[in-house]
A and B are shown apart, each in its own frame.
Chain A
């Protein structure tokens, strides 16, 4: 045990030190190659300073650009190319993988389920987040309530799976139900079920988990946006005789519309990448497969088929692209406004 800990600590120090050493020594080296000592040749010093100014940004950016290029930019191109090749990436097959995908029942099932996830989860998280933010902002113990609702953000999807599997636990025969959901169903006279094996509806039992995890995120951000609403608009509405419902829908919601859109898109991206929950709860059985898991399966199942999994990855990418373009536009507008 001790030796394991020691080697772990050693590895950590090594990793961080290599990274820090790069920045320190590359900058020292630059200063040494182009000295700019006072009292030297003035012209030379000026030239050296300019050269340093040309090179140093790339020293600062170097590791980041290298990693981004290798881990994110190159794979996008490589995946595109792989999607036209056979299982091991050596034989060109043209559009065969695409034809396969759109005729495959499992693929269509995954697309259907993904659309279901996209329709339900971002909407539910944003709606609950907004409602809870409005309510908790009005009570004195609101911050405690917020901390509790925010807490699942810290829990891994796998941990959440254990938590919710326990809630959905089913025990056959005359055994006492130890899963909370079945116990409640039984209390009200219903029949216990194996919830995560019911086709179609099991999707919703899995979505509940992601909603449970993500509502806190939506709540925190929307709560901050709500605080930014000017008091005067609300007071004016109250004087004009608006009730709470009208204030919420006609005064508050329109003023935080931009934030609602941000929260919605952030959760949408997350939903497209959802992998752990489906893997640990059903592994795609009982018609609960989603794209990310289908892709993972094709990567490793039976030795793997890189062409087919590349097609699935590209479908996910295509779904994200509009959000990416919107993001870049918005960031550009923001930078210009600064």
Chain B
């Protein structure tokens, strides 16, 4: 052990430890909602999610039966019955009991507690109890209140998911999100790829100006576009007598806002393809359209894939554009907007919020981990040339 330690060295060990710490820090927030979404909704509010695997214990107050239920047993009087299912959740295990709220765990289950005055009380694990006095109970006394410590085993359930998918409109929003995202991913790639090819390999006047324009537009904040565009949308909507908030409308908005970066990245990639292939195809009489479809598109697959992932994540996770161009009608809400609405209306219902959040981040996480290789490659190929 010491030998291994020496070979690793304290500095190296420190690096391992530090990275482990950072990984845990980065994972903890997400883990919190994953675990919470699977917990019983009554348990979420009584204990932190980090105790979910160890079970929780809670205190419940119950009343024993009144003196009128007392039965004479030899010289003693006995009140017997059960506390199971009475003010406690019923699926927990009673661990201990007590007479005062300050000491709810004064006595172990099964043991006999001497309450003085000739009274004893025994509570068993199954909830049955025996309250005994060596004299008659005073007839007008109230029934006795005792406190129980109940250990609840870890409980996991899929009910929260069932609830949000059917009851809270998350299922509908999921379809809406897909309807927005898939065309808003495919269309900009198609348009950007054609434009990128033209900017990379076709000769025409004004090419340099257009490239500079595209680069400049990358940083235009899209907040800028909202008011003028809403006006155009409303006017067109009125002209044709249709709603101004339509799916084609939001597809075009997402397409346009994604275009500058897409054209820039794809142009960099396409311009880097070997010149000989394109020129020999031209000599063979292929038109630019044929060259693009048959040569450029297949060769650019890695760049197209990486941009597709970006655009997909961006559109799926967007809230602002969806709120402005698709509106906040209940049947048109995308997932992020639905989740935002739930944050307002169901602020404290963590079983609903966490399950909904899980549904919204499920698809991006699948895409992310499934295609991470392309994503990283895309990040590195275009955005930081010469870094």
Contacts and interface: CB of A to CB of B under 8 A. Distances in A.
A72 B350 contact: no
A4 B172 contact: yes
Contact of B218 (A176, A224, A327): A327
A167 to B, nearest CB: 6
Interface string B218-241: 111111111111011000000000
A134 B367 CA distance: 27
Contacts of B287: 27, 31, 52, 56
Given A138-B15, A316-B223, A67 B360 contact: no
Interface of A: 1, 4-5, 8, 11-12, 15-16, 19-20, 23, 27, 31, 52-54, 56-58, 60-61, 63-65, 67-68, 70-76, 78-79, 82, 89, 132, 135-136, 138-139, 142, 145, 147-159, 161-167, 169, 175-180, 183, 212, 217, 220-221, 224-225, 228, 244, 256, 258-259, 262-263, 266, 269, 272-273, 275-276, 279-280, 292, 295-296, 299, 306, 309-310, 313-314, 316-317, 320, 323-324, 327-328, 331-332, 334-335, 338
Secondary structure at chain B's binding surface: helix, strand, loop or mixed? helix
Nearest to A312: B223
- In the A-B complex, list the 3 residue pairs whose CB atoms are closest, starting with the nearest: A71-B256, A156-B317, A259-B387
Nearest to A67: B256
B29 A212 contact: yes
Contact of A180 (B48, B175, B292): B48
B311 interface: no
Contacts of A23: 190, 194, 289
B139 interface: no
Contacts of B212: 328, 331-332
Contacts of B303: none
B185 to A, nearest CB: 10
B198 interface: yes
Given A71-B253, A153-B313, A165-B343, A1 B383 contact: no
Given A79-B228, A156-B319, A67 B367 contact: no
Contacts of B256: 67-68, 70-72
Nearest to A314: B224
Interface of B: 11-12, 15-16, 18-20, 22-23, 26-30, 32-33, 36, 44-50, 171-172, 175-176, 178-179, 182-183, 186-187, 190-192, 194-195, 197-199, 202-204, 208, 210-229, 231-232, 247-248, 251-253, 255-257, 259-260, 263-264, 271, 287-289, 292, 313, 316-320, 335-336, 339-340, 343, 350, 353-354, 356-357, 360-361, 364-365, 367-369, 372, 376, 379-380, 383-387
A11 B292 CA distance: 27
A16 B182 CA distance: 9
A273 B182 CA distance: 24
Given A16-B186, A309-B227, A320-B220, A148 B211 contact: no
Nearest to B187: A19
Contact of B48 (A61, A183, A306): A183
Contacts of A89: 231
Contact of B364 (A31, A61, A156, A178): A156
Given A135-B18, A269-B219, A335-B211, A67 B228 contact: no
B343 A162 contact: yes
B227 to A, nearest CB: 5
Contact of A155 (B208, B260, B365): B365
Given A79-B228, A162-B357, 18 more contacts: A1-B171, A11-B247, A12-B179, A64-B194, A64-B263, A68-B214, A68-B260, A135-B15, A135-B18, A156-B318, A166-B32, A167-B29, A176-B47, A273-B221, A316-B221, A327-B218, A328-B212, A331-B211
A61 B194 contact: yes
Nearest to A276: B319
Contacts of B253: 71
A56 B208 CA distance: 17
Given A156-B336, A158-B336, A327 B260 contact: no
A16 B18 CA distance: 48
20 contacts: A1-B171, A8-B178, A19-B186, A56-B202, A64-B195, A70-B256, A72-B217, A76-B220, A78-B228, A135-B15, A157-B336, A162-B343, A176-B47, A176-B48, A183-B50, A220-B379, A262-B384, A296-B320, A313-B224, A324-B216
A186 B195 CA distance: 58
Given A166-B354, A221-B383, A152 B339 contact: no
B29 A163 contact: yes
Given A155-B30, A155-B317, A217-B379, A296 B46 contact: no
A165 B33 CA distance: 10
Contacts of A169: 350
A259 B339 CA distance: 36
Contact of B223 (A148, A212, A228, A273): A273
B175 A4 contact: yes
